[in-house]
Amino acid sequence: MTDIMWFRHDLRLENQTALYHAMKTSKDLILLFHVNPTQFIDHSMNHQAFFQAVQFFQTQVNEQMHLQILYGDIRACFTRLKAAVPSWERIYFNADEAGFGLQRDQDMTDFFVKNDIKVHAYQDHYLHHADLIKNQSGQPYKVFTPYYNRWKEMIKPTPLQVSLVPSIVVKDELFPKDEAEFAKLCASLPQKPFYELGSKAAKKRFKAFVSHYLADYETNRDFPAVSGTSLLSPYLRTGELSIRTVWSMLALTDNSIGKQTFQKELCWRDFYNMIYKENPNQKTEPIKEEFQYINWHTSETDFQKWCQGQTGYPIIDAAMAQLNQTGWMHNRLRMIVASFLIKDLLIDWRKGEKYFQQQLIDYSPASNIGGWQWAASTGTDAVPYFRIFNPVTQSEKFDASGTFIRNYLPALKELPDALIHQPWKMTELEESLYGVTLGKDYPHPIVVHKTARLKTLSAYEDSKAYARDMKES
């Protein structure tokens, strides 16, 4: 009897639930990763970073065992696998609870059952199952705070000690053509990784965060020029670091406001996963139905200026430069640029979500979609009147000295603090003095915030009114 351990976004050999059970029960085990070309995104740093992590993991596994690669249509690949390994009777994997992954798991479970393959599926990516925490009526929460109040009282899972047994792992290369295709894919990736790869690097980074930044996390996390965040998101996205490891290491640290705030951020991961499971169409549809009729501005020119960091608002443009250059963006900036796209430019939030999916090396569907629905005021607790960020006010508050802006917008580096947030206020003399000509070295603002805010509120009100009329008719 042969068993399969199917890796996905759980790229580690320690504290890994499915692998833990596979190693405990198997006598003949195949380690497997499936590459699905239908999921590829052209010119995507998200795509590139993920496969850099897979390649690193493959190299790590192959030091003692062998990670088999399947490449192509998923059903066709697993059909070939069953034909090549007729003794295959069990499969182990860490399941997804929402989105594309859920649909894939449901489809493949049907395949496995029809082929008399017993499925062993586990929840590994979050601290709690998506359907575990309910309100007093037995219904899922729609608002974060009451969810968090229940969540923080729940007992958290502890790390699992995986006992690796390399001798039981099949080391022969079963599908050399597939592995050659994957090698070809890896050869096209950037030579330099977007971040330091692997489980060891992940734990090293987390230990550094705990030692130097955790205590001040509440104070420093909102300032993009300050090293105040954990930078763990790429590792949690790929599964190079287990969320159980994070929680258990946190438990050993002294209590502080920073620690409590960071734990709350971990709760947001669980919350958004739950929201996605309860709202499976949220990537393409607003959760609040009354906002499905917003008359979005369709200017592709304005959208591209946002993507390229050419809006004329320094905090927006610097943030987009950070994203486009590094594949990562500070969380405060994610909220600011999302608000600007939606509430200032009145461009459909789904376009922004899709662009983030292309660019972010830490892209998580549940958290990214949830964040964009939050910014768009179309999510479960949306209030458009109070969630319109003024980009200048945000810039002055969270990058007061302009350090972050100057780092990513060198054209503005000579501007004094009084002008760095609003360069359009420069006189001609100041333009000459600081070597910046608006419209040439740096763009004029593409929108006036005060005016745009009123248009946005009107558009949202119109959508609500239309939805109400539709319901009454």
Residues annotated as catalytic (active site), given as ranges = 265, 268, 296, 331, 349, 372
The label of the residue with tokens 């037995």 reads 138
Which residue pairs, CB below 8 angstroms and at least 24 apart, start in 55-58?
55/186, 55/189, 56/11, 56/193, 56/197, 56/198, 57/7, 57/11, 57/12, 57/33, 57/198, 57/240, 58/33, 58/182
Q: What secondary structure does DSSP assign to 394-457, as a single string?
A: HHHHHSTT-HHHHHH-GGGTTS-HHHHT-GGG--HHHHHHHT--BTTTBPPPSS-HHHHHHHHH
Q: What secondary structure does DSSP assign to 135-172, as a single string?
A: -TTS-B-SSHHHHHHHHTTSPPPPP------GGGB--S
The label of the residue with tokens 């709760």 reads 267
Q: Which of 320, 316, 360, 309 is nearest to 339 (CA)?
A: 316
Indicate the Cα dihedral angle 171, 177, 180, 182, nearest 10°: -90
The label of the residue with tokens 């004029």 reads 444
Cα(217)–Cα(212) distance, integer angstroms: 10
Cα separations in angstroms, 407 against 74, 184, 399: 44, 36, 11
